Chains A and B, each alone.
Chain A
Amino acid sequence: MKKFIASYASWIALLLLLILCAATCESFRIPANYIVMLRQACYTGIIAIGMTFVIGAGGIDLSVGSLFALSGVIAFKLAPFCCTSPAGQLLCLAAIALAAGAAGGALNGALAGFAKLPPFIVTLGTMSIFRSLALYLGDAGRVSLSNPLLTAIDSGATLWIFLFAGAAGAFILSRSVFGVRVRAVGSNEKVARFSGINTGMIQFKTYLLTGMLCALSALLWGGRLGGISSANDGTGYELDAIAAVIVGGSSMSGGKAAVTGTVAGILILTVISNALVAWGISPRLQECVKGAVIIIAVLSQYRKER
């Protein structure tokens, strides 16, 4: 029983939170609102899945929000030049976005994984590099694309992609050779190295994966809105994604990580921000509550380990 609670703590917390919200707010008793909330959670949620791998391997990625914007801006800017037919253009858009995301992730991964620089510093640096490049390429404004097929990327599809990515990520992290190695590297890099694991390559791959998930998220976001804002989109995503991982019960120092927890974590954060609105609390206090939730999550973990 104790073990059950420990392994599903974040889901139980989510459930209790929902009961509280449903008891106090009218809007939480309307099923359709839950779909709305799920859709809100998708964009940072997809990124948080990758972040779980990065943190699980003992790293951190602060550049996700900027890479989200940059890969979106590059793709939406270049796609019209590549192809004129709507279908071809859509394909180019996806390919360019993913390639840009992969390139950004590979840069983070090469510096943190192979060159062994501290990931916090590396991604702090690339965070401003990516954002600055996005602003430059997007003239600090919106980059739009009119393509009749873009409406295919509605939020319904986004939701399914998020759920699929979550399930796949959960499975890979918990049950694949790569997943176990990711956690082994995060748990003790030296032991992993002595076990014949190419630790640099494992870390590289986690950043690569996260970069591509940033691009996927940007693609879905930009697709729905018909473009990407180089200045505003993706700002603060890094904190939301990291918060989701921590609230989901993964250890900040690596080794212990689960994607299912992260999914619960992002849902908890989304429900809280909606509940604050429903309760009529000033939106300026949103970040304050979010910060408190993160601290409480870490505190409860810390207590458990003592």
Chain B
Amino acid sequence: MKNSTVLDVRELECAYGTVKVLSGISFQLEPGTILGIAGENGAGKSTLVKCICGLLKPAAGQIQRQVPAAAIHQEFNLAPDLTVAENIFLGREPECGSMLKKKFMAEKTEQLLDSLGVSITPETLVSALTVAEKQMVEIAKAVGSDSGILIMDEPTTVLTQTETEKLFSLVRALTAQGKAVIYISHKLDEVLSLCSRIMVLRDGAMAGMYNASELTPRLLAEKMVGRELSRIFPDKLPPPAGVPKLEVEHLCARGVNDISFSLHAGEILGVAGLNGAGRSELAETLFGLRKITAGTVRINGKEIRLRSVRDALKNKIAFLTEDRQGSGLLLDFPIDLNMTLAALPEYKKAGFLDFKKIARKALQYIKSFNLKCASPAQAVRHLSGGNQQKAAIAKCLDTAPEIFIFDEPTRGVDVGARREIYDFVHSLAGKGAACLLISSDLEEVLGLCRRIMVIRNGSCAGIVSGEELTEQHIIRKAAGVEK
């Protein structure tokens, strides 16, 4: 006899130490359905996933699973030095005697990746993959585990539109086979188009369970935040005039191929392109992290030397990295030291650091960014994604930059904090900073920028402005369909 529910969660409560992160969560999951979970960062989505998978012990309540669950977590769980096939079969290696069935593994892996529309050879080392490919392997690993419940926590953050669509059709095919899927994403239109039911989490509690048909993206966003939302993008800034602040000419570096553009003070120049097109590579080159092999960079009409991060900082360039946990913040360091790390010598008194001054400055940032934390001495690790991002922005701001490069500033950030970040970028440019906004979220660059540079294969595929500023136009340029 087949059970009608595969997962039954009742009055679930979960706590980290004394802080309650989840309470009063109850829901059922039926085979062949997709449940969406929406909520702001820090609402408890990832914690819920960990509870369901058994990685966290709930403080109270019950979780009854009829079938095993496989999860794609927000962070990668791949062994970089093993091959794609070895990773996909990690922990459940097919054996013949005590020998690995290599051929079987390779075939099965190829099949799985094919169904996702990815062409990676099973023998490739995971460390050689791009971020998007790693994500695909992660998905294949979960799908391949043949579990009755599949949990996907923000699987599409690093994927392009086409990759996302492939994933969706796979998910639909899996549910048709009777699998149950829990899908978590901050991209509301994705959740709405894919899921039949949507659970909204707010501050660790259930704010409601809705049928997808009764919601619109806007309505869903409102349910998540718990108040009515006004427009998310601020009014566009007036077009800048005068001489450009930053002029880049025929810039070449590893992954950057002959890029030229100019950026004015008070302007937000968008940078769009597919994943791996070379956007972050351009940012890293402008921040002195990649060796410039040809071309020039001028600031205020004067050519500058750009051989190290220190050169960049000296020229008042700041860089908000796309990977705040890997290259932006020291997770075990307190908030205040993180915020002041790039401009540490400014906080010297008689040769040593003035920790009171550091804490005071941090408090200022915490207040002006509305950053939620216990104290400036709290370790960054314990902050939610949105609050971590605010700390990372404060860190960049502390070097008093005039040119600000944002790389995916709202990745993994919830609606509320996203709006605050847009307002911040806007006001920064309004005060005369020159901003470069790299983003995979086209809505974002279209909402904030008057000019958008499209990058393809490390080169500039064109700078779009005026009436050409449409999503379609940019996608076609990024894909190389249109010259």
Contact = CB atoms under 8 A, between A and B. Distances in A.
A9 B445 CA distance: 51
Interface in A18-66: none
Contacts of B368: none
Interface string A183-223: 11001101111111110000000000000000000000000
Interface stretch (A128-136, A158-166, A170-178, A236-244): A170-178
A109 interface: no
Contacts of B333: 183-184, 187, 255
Contacts of A77: none
A194 to B, nearest CB: 5
Interface residues of B, number: 29
B337 A180 contact: yes
A256 interface: yes
A256 B332 contact: yes
Contacts of A190: 326-327
Contacts of A188: 326-327, 330-331
Interface in B329-384: 329-333, 337, 341-342, 344-345, 348, 351-353, 355
Interface in A227-265: 255-256
Contact of A180 (B308, B327, B353): B353
B353 A176 contact: yes
A194 B319 contact: yes
Nearest to B326: A190
Interface stretch (B42-50, B223-231, B291-299, B309-317): B309-317
Give the dominant DSSP class at A's interface: helix
B321 A194 contact: yes
B353 A255 contact: no
A177 B430 CA distance: 33
Interface string B396-413: 000100000000000000
Contacts of B31: none
B344 to A, nearest CB: 5
Contacts of B355: 175
A255 B330 contact: yes
Contact of B309 (A175, A180, A194, A255): A194
Nearest to B341: A195
A196 B313 contact: yes
B317 to A, nearest CB: 10
A195 B353 contact: no
Contact of A193 (B309, B331, B348): B309
A39 B353 CA distance: 32
14 contacts: A177-B345, A180-B341, A181-B344, A187-B330, A187-B332, A191-B326, A191-B328, A193-B327, A194-B328, A195-B342, A195-B395, A196-B310, A198-B308, A198-B310
